[in-house]
């Protein structure tokens, strides 16, 4: 097994939305960032992976097994956008509950991470802030030694220091090259630090899936006047946006573009720039 996750031709229809021909491959030892605006299909894809949504077309394999295989569930750690803990519980109550669910649940690891993230085991979950609840969910997801972490907005609500701690935790997790992380987020700066692959979904379709290094090294933004833009051939750029004073132009191959239009400056691209131009550009 070299791939932990394989999605082939995933289709799911709703009255006002369609997930169309989604194909994703996540190898062992890698982190994939899954990006796109609200309503693009990220959560629908994740729910299909987790078999929460069942009536879809296509195939989803986890560890070379169908995603509805009971054996698979033991090896997945999940953090969804919505919390799954009962508000009336104390934090320490999670431990015996999870012991009854996961064979590999590690109580020592769970309490170690509670101390690391300054979570009081005797505190009621309902008294926690959104950020503290998110940290608790991440700790719980990682404390049964899963091989795959599926994360839907895992750093939402965290301050920069806590986000940095969580990123370090994910990087430590992925040091085991038999593991992988599938990471959906709006905070694209997190992915710029830790992701190996970026998959971009828009309106239910995958519009880009490449290594992060390919994107950062090859893609760029040209900011130019209208007179310069009029000289460009359509095959030399992907998208453009017209602002009040200039054009922003997304190019896929900085080197080739520079050879042709050598007088123009090509700026480095961020994942946020890429998202905005791919979605809003013409």
Instruction: CATH number of the domain at 87, please.
Output: 3.40.50.300
Q: Say whether both 162 and 105 belong to one domain.
A: yes
pLDDT of residue 96: 95
Specify whether 180 is located in the same domain as 198: yes
What does the alpha-carbon distance between residue 68 and residue 276 come to, in Å, rounded to a whole number?
36
Same domain, 172 and 68: yes
Percent above pLDDT 70 for the chain: 99
The phi and psi torsions of 49 (rounded to 5 degrees) equal -55, -40
Q: Which of the listed residues 153, 184, 211 is the one where a domain comes to its end?
A: 211
**Helix residue spans in 35-93 (DSSP H):** 42-49, 70-73
Considering the chain, what is the average pLDDT of its residues?
Answer: 91
Are 56 and 190 contained in the same domain? yes
pLDDT band at 13, cuts 50/70/90? very high
Residue 136 phi/psi, 5-degree rounding, is -65, -40
Which of 176, 192, 211 is where one domain is finished? 211
Cβ within 8 Å of residue 234, ≥6 positions away: none
Residue 90 is given by DSSP the state: B
pLDDT tens by residue, 72-100? 888 999 998 766 778 889 999 999 999 99
The reported pLDDT for the residue numbered 1 is 55
Same domain, 113 and 225: no
122 & 231 share domain: no
Range of the domain at 253: 219-280
Are residues 50 and 62 in contact, defined by beta-carbon separation less than 8 angstroms? no
pLDDT of residue 249: 95
Write out the two tokens for 141.
Answer: 């997801």
Q: In this predicted structure, which of 5-9, 55-59, 86-90 has the lowest mean pLDDT?
A: 86-90
Section 173-189 average pLDDT: 90
Is the domain of 205 the same as that of 223?
Answer: no
Please state, in angstroms and as integers, the Cα–Cα distance from residue 149 to each residue in 9, 47, 73, 100, 234, following that order.
Answer: 22, 14, 11, 20, 40
Enclosing H/E stretch for 247: strand 247-251
Average pLDDT over residues 9-28: 94
Contact between 204 and 18 under an 8 Å Cβ cutoff? The reply is yes
229 and 206 fall within a common domain: no
Last residue of a domain, one of 158, 188, 211: 211
Same-domain status, 144 and 36:
yes
* Residue 107 sits in the same domain as residue 36: yes
The answer on 116 and 195 residing in a single domain is yes
Domain count, the chain: 2
Cβ neighbors of 11 (< 8 A, separation 6 or more) are 18, 19, 20, 21, 22, 56, 57, 58
- Tens of pLDDT, residue by residue over 100-138, are 999 999 999 999 999 988 999 999 999 988 888 888 999
Verify that 32 and 106 share a domain, yes or no: yes
pLDDT of residue 20: 95
């Amino acid at each position: 097994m070299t791939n932990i996750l394989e999605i082939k031709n995933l289709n799911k229809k709703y009255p006002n939305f369609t997930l169309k021909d989604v194909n994703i491959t996540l190898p062992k030892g890698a982190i994939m960032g899954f990006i796109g605006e609200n309503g693009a299909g990220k959560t629908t894809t994740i729910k299909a992976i987790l078999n929460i949504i069942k009536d879809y077309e296509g195939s989803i394999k986890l560890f070379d097994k169908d995603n509805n295989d009971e054996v698979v569930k033991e090896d997945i750690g999940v953090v969804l956008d919505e919390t799954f803990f009962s508000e009336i519980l104390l934090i320490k109550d999670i431990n015996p509950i999870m012991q009854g669910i996961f064979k590999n649940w590690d109580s020592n690891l769970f309490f170690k991470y509670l101390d690391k993230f300054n979570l009081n085991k005797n505190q009621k979950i309902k008294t926690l802030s959104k950020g503290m609840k998110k940290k608790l969910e991440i700790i719980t997801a990682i404390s049964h030694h899963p091989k795959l972490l599926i994360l839907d907005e895992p750093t939402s609500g965290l301050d920069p220091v806590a986000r940095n701690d969580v990123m370090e935790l994910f990087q430590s997790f992925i040091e085991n090259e038999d593991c992988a992380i599938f990471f959906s987020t709006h905070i694209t700066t997190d992915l710029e630090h830790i992701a190996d692959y970026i998959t971009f979904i828009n309106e239910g379709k995958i519009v880009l899936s490449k290594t992060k290094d390919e994107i950062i090294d090859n893609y760029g933004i040209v900011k130019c006047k209208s007179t310069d833009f009029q000289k460009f051939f359509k095959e030399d750029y992907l998208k453009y946006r017209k602002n009040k004073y200039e054009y922003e132009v997304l190019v896929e191959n900085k080197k080739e573009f520079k050879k042709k239009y050598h007088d123009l400056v090509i700026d480095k691209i961020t994942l946020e720039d890429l998202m905005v131009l791919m979605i809003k550009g013409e």
